[in-house]
Amino acid sequence: MIVQSNLDREFEAIEDVWSPRVIAEANGQYVKIARARGEFVWHAHAAEDEFFLVHRGELVIHYRDGEDVVLGPGDFHVVPRGREHMTEAREECWILMVEPVSTRHTGETESDLTKPVEAQIAHLTDVGR
């Protein structure tokens, strides 16, 4: 698999909000991107940290047990494992994440927004072609 592409091109290929798209795999981690708009679901990942980088727009990460983190373009943040959080974008926001291949994007929460990982990587054979 040749992994070579462009972030904007990959974001533009995403049809739905809150539907992560895997753009690369390295060392058991996925680099994923997603379009965010509105509220996601409250969830936690018991054993996995999540790195967030905002590419465009503004993302708010609400913590059940702490203050909101507000991220603008170029801002990054790590949500530590085990901390319940909910992401929200008042206007459309484009985010990049790095997390283990095993991470379910809604954590231990099952939701209408939950996308199986197969759907997140379905396009990957076309990457870089």
> Interface with a copy of itself includes 78 (CB under 8 A)?
yes
Give the Cβ contact number of residue 128 at 10 Å. Answer: 13
CB of 56 to a copy of itself, least distance (A): 11
> Interface with a copy of itself includes 123 (CB under 8 A)?
no
Site for a copy of itself in 1-20 (CB under 8 A): 3-8
Expressed in angstroms, the distance from the first to the final Cα of the chain is 10
Residues that bind a copy of itself (CB under 8 A): 3-8, 23-27, 29, 31, 48-51, 53, 69, 71-72, 74-78, 98-100
